[in-house]
Amino acid sequence: MSQALRVVFAGTPEFAVPCLAACRQAGVEVVAVYTQPDRPAGRGRKLTPSPVKQAAEAAGLPVEQPETLRNPAARAVLAAYRPDLMVVVAYGLILPQSVLDIPAFGCWNVHASLLPRWRGAAPIQRAVLAGDAESGVCLMRMEKGLDTGPVIARTVTALSPAETGGSLHDRLSVMGAEVLAPALLTLAAARQAPPCDPQPVDGVTYAHKLDKAEAVIDWRDSAQAIERKVRAFDPWPVAEGDVAGERLRVWSAVAVGDGGRGQPGDIVAAGRDGIDVATGDGVLRIRELQRAGGRRVQAVDYLNARPELRKAIT
């Protein structure tokens, strides 16, 4: 009987948990799980383990949490696990070439985009923000460059008109595991690196890390662009804008009509269906919102607290 494929898994957020589960299958042995150090979270700022650490400990797997993999001591610990392969999913640390060279079959990365589009930190939100018609997951062999490696396998999904950053995140998380699992089995059985395709030179875009400042709505933008921002930044960092004299978080909104009924930022109608705000091109109807210190509510409930804003929707 052949020896199981020795895999070191590296990941941190909830997105990576299904891929960790996919590594725990016949013919594969997860010898260690690498994840980010515990971070302060919640109102009490209590040190909290990552979702991947919680899943690993629940499964009885060894956990390593180095601050960096750039020092010789950290690399020596990794090498001592004698990995055949390292699987990396939203880990959050840069892997230097000296780390990529440790596993016998190198390092694989599960990336939430259709490479070479949206290399980088926030591919899910950038796809929604840009109005992409489709997204997907690529399993690639890692190189020193940022998400530049050749692709082993990919899967594609269409984006719905109501797609949010959260809904796409959850779907791609599952799809990532579905792409990874059969590739691992193939490697475990064949004991040779699978074929892969170099990424095209054309079509490279970068998904820069999200910044909360990006979430502020500029009413001079088009209603379509603002709607995409609202959907892309749900559940984080959540779009927010000045409406009727106060800053509101906007959780759900849809572009309606062709505008021409007021200056950008003006409320042109408000009632049972929502709050209609003029933009630089078209009208945005706010359906769900949140006041500072309040909870997420339907727009009609907000209007019950501010009846002076009600205007007939024509």
- Summarize pLDDT for 276-292 with one digit per residue, the tens: 999 999 999 999 999 99
For the chain, the domain total comes to 2
Residues 15 and 162 in one domain: yes
pLDDT above 70 (res 171): yes
Mean pLDDT for all residues in the chain: 95
Asked if residue 2 belongs to a known ligand binding site, the reply is no
Whether 31 is in a domain gets the answer: yes
Could you tell me the CA-to-CA distances from 56 to 5, 12, 90 in Å, in that order? 18, 11, 15
**Are 83 and 109 members of one domain?**
yes
Annotation-wise, does 284 bind a ligand? no
The SS3 assignment for 62 reads coil
- 168 and 225, same domain (yes or no): no
**pLDDT, position 259:** 58
- CATH at residue 227: 3.10.25.10
Residue 309 has pLDDT above 90, yes or no: no
Q: Are residues 131 and 194 in the same domain?
A: yes
pLDDT in tens, 119-134: 999 999 999 999 999 9
Residue 288 has a pLDDT of: 98
What is the mean predicted confidence (pLDDT) over 162-185? 97
What pTM was estimated for this model as a whole? 0.95
pLDDT surpassing 90 at residue 88 = yes
Please state the rounded mean pLDDT for residues 139-168.
Answer: 97
What's the rounded Cα separation, in Å, for the pair 262 and 220? 11
User: Is residue 277 one of the residues assigned to a domain?
Assistant: yes
Q: What is the pLDDT of residue 312?
A: 57
- In a shared domain, residues 84 and 27: yes
**Does 13 reside within a domain?**
yes
Mean pLDDT of 76-87: 98
What average pLDDT does the segment 76-96 reach?
96
* Per-residue pLDDT band at 314 (split at 50, 70, 90): very low
pLDDT-derived band of residue 118, with 50, 70 and 90 as boundaries? very high
What is the rounded average pLDDT of the residues 26-46? 91
Of 157, 172, 207, which closes a domain?
207
59 and 197 belong to one structural domain: yes
Q: Is residue 174 part of a domain?
A: yes
Are 96 and 142 in a shared domain?
Answer: yes
124 lies in a domain? yes
Q: Is residue 314 part of a domain?
A: no
CATH number at residue 19: 3.40.50.170
Q: Residue 61 belongs to what domain range? A: 5-207
Last residue of a domain, one of 207, 238, 260: 207
- The predicted model gives 156-168 an average pLDDT of 98
Which of 250, 189, 182 lies closest to 216, judged by CA? Answer: 250
Q: Average pLDDT of 150-154?
A: 98
Alpha-carbon span 228 to 291, nearest angstrom: 21
**290 phi and psi angles, rounded to 5 deg:** -150, 125
* Cis amide leading into 116 (omega within 30): yes
pLDDT at 188 over 80: yes
What is the mean predicted confidence (pLDDT) over 284-312?
92
Q: Average pLDDT of 176-197?
A: 95
Mean pLDDT, residues 234-251: 96
The least confident of 7-21, 186-200, 246-260, 293-307 is 246-260
Query: Do the annotations mark residue 248 as ligand-binding?
Result: no
- Does residue 111 sit in the same domain as residue 157? yes
Let me know whether 46 and 186 are in one domain: yes
pLDDT at 141: 98
Answer yes or no: do 96 and 56 share one domain.
yes
User: Are 14 and 152 contained in the same domain?
Assistant: yes
Span 218-242, average pLDDT: 97
Cβ–Cβ under 8 Å, residues 214 and 125: no
Q: State whether 139 and 217 are in the same domain.
A: no
| 85 known ligand binder | no
What is the rounded average pLDDT of the residues 23-30?
93
79, pLDDT greater than 60: yes
Domain boundary among 207, 239, 263: 207
d(CA 93, CA 31): 19
- Confidence bin at 261 (pLDDT 50/70/90): confident
pLDDT for 260? 60
